[in-house]
């Protein structure tokens, strides 16, 4: 989880920028998008197999 504290003499904008970078590095938004809708385990397996198939055909 992203946790950012305002430093002494630091502007709110710079703290907000640091927070955005922290969220990106923690990949929080990607995880939220992935979990937005439930995906059955069988569907996840099929996706992984399709990716493997595409990569091996190169």
Q: Per-residue pLDDT tens for 3-57?
A: 999 999 999 999 999 999 999 999 999 999 999 999 999 999 999 999 999 999 8
User: What's this model's pTM, rounded to 2 decimal places?
Assistant: 0.59
20-49 burial: b if 16+ Cβ within 10 Å, else e: eeebeeeeeeeeeeeeeeeeeeeeeeeeee
* Residue 35, token pair as written in the block: 């979990």
Q: What is the pLDDT of residue 57?
A: 82
pLDDT at position 58 over 90: no
* Residue 38, token pair as written in the block: 């439930």
Structure-model confidence comparison of residues 58 and 57, the more confident one: 57
Structure-model confidence comparison of residues 2 and 52, the more confident one: 52
């Amino acid at each position: 989880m992203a946790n950012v504290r305002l430093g002494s003499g630091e502007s709110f904008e710079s703290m907000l920028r640091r927070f955005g970078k922290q969220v990106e590095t923690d990949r929080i938004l990607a995880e939220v998008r992935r979990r937005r809708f439930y995906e059955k385990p069988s569907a996840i397996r099929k996706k992984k197999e399709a990716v493997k198939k595409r990569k091996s055909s190169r």
